[in-house]
């Protein structure tokens, strides 16, 4: 982390990239905060039953998944995140709001945070990214993170996987890429394109902190709204 801070002070730019997810965990926002530019990667395939459409909250009965249903407008293999349309037939949004309210209504910051979530889950948003990217951008603002955030659909890049990452870095004029460990296999499978293109490859590390939660023993790796409800934006910002 010290090296990354020195890099930013010396004028080098750090870029990171992730698909937008539903109520991302704390580490997602730590990745954003550690970057000068963060790309919301919406121009890639939507993965079924992934964090792109679901996440967990903590209730009195334990962890439960909240999932956003998506319309079958095309073959799943051809469906890009940016083209995914939300299905409201089963009133999932009303159910999500009820579950969140039941789980967190007694937390110290419920009245502060719930209206933000209610706004994004009000049933008027047609596309998945309207919800997920909208929530991410509002939470980034709430946490006073000043990282520049860009949609991949607004970048004139080419290629797929690591080739796409290199193209995006060049298009945005950065010389450092901060990657999550989960991308290691395809980034380092074969030729290291970052090395051959003179882009420093950094690996994101984040140790999950412990904070005061309602509903029993501490549970890590759930949506950031858990921390926001329990300890508020200021303390959550310090955690990341």
| Phi, then psi, of 20 in degrees rounded to 5 | -65, 135
Q: What is the pLDDT of residue 189?
A: 65
Torsion of CA 99, 101, 103, 107, to 10 degrees: 160
Domain 2-239 falls in which CATH fold? Rossmann fold (3.40.50)
Predicted confidence band of residue 161 (pLDDT cuts 50, 70, 90): confident
State pLDDT tens for residues 102-148: 999 999 999 999 999 999 999 889 999 999 999 999 999 999 999 99
Closest CA to 63 of 221, 208, 224, 206: 221
Burial status of residue 205 (CB atoms within 10 A of its CB: 0-12, 13-18, 19 or more): exposed
Alpha carbon 87 to its chain centroid, in Å, reads: 21
State pLDDT tens for residues 38-48: 999 999 999 88
d(CA 176, CA 13): 6
Residue 10 is given by DSSP the state: T
d(CA 78, CA 229): 37
Domain limits, the chain: 2-239
Alpha carbon 91 to its chain centroid, in Å, reads: 24
> Comparing 6-10, 52-56, 151-155, 165-169, which segment has the lowest mean pLDDT?
6-10
The answer, yes or no, to whether residue 11 has pLDDT greater than 60, is no
């Amino acid at each position: 982390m010290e090296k990354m801070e020195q890099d930013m002070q010396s004028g080098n730019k750090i870029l990171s990239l992730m698909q937008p997810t539903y109520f991302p965990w704390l580490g997602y926002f730590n990745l954003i905060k550690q970057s000068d530019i963060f790309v919301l990667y919406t121009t890639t395939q939507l993965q079924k039953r992934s964090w792109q459409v679901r996440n967990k909250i903590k209730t009195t009965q334990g962890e439960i998944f909240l999932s956003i249903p998506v319309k079958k407008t095309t073959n799943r293999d051809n469906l890009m995140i940016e083209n995914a349309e939300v299905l409201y037939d089963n009133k999932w949004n009303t159910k999500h709001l009820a579950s969140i309210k039941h789980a967190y209504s007694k937390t110290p910051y419920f009245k502060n945070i719930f209206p933000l979530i209610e706004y994004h889950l009000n049933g008027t948003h047609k596309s998945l990214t309207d919800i997920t990217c909208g929530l991410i951008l509002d939470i980034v603002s709430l946490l006073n993170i000043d990282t520049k955030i860009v949609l991949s659909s607004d970048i004139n890049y080419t290629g797929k996987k690591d080739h796409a990452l290199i193209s995006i870095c060049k298009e945005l004029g950065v010389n450092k890429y901060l990657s999550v460990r989960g991308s290691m296999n395809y980034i380092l499978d074969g030729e290291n394109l970052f090395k051959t293109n003179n882009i420093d490859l950094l690996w994101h590390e984040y140790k999950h902190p412990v904070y005061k939660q309602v509903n029993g023993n501490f549970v890590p790796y759930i949506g950031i709204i858990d921390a926001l409800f329990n300890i508020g934006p200021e303390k959550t910002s310090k955690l990341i």
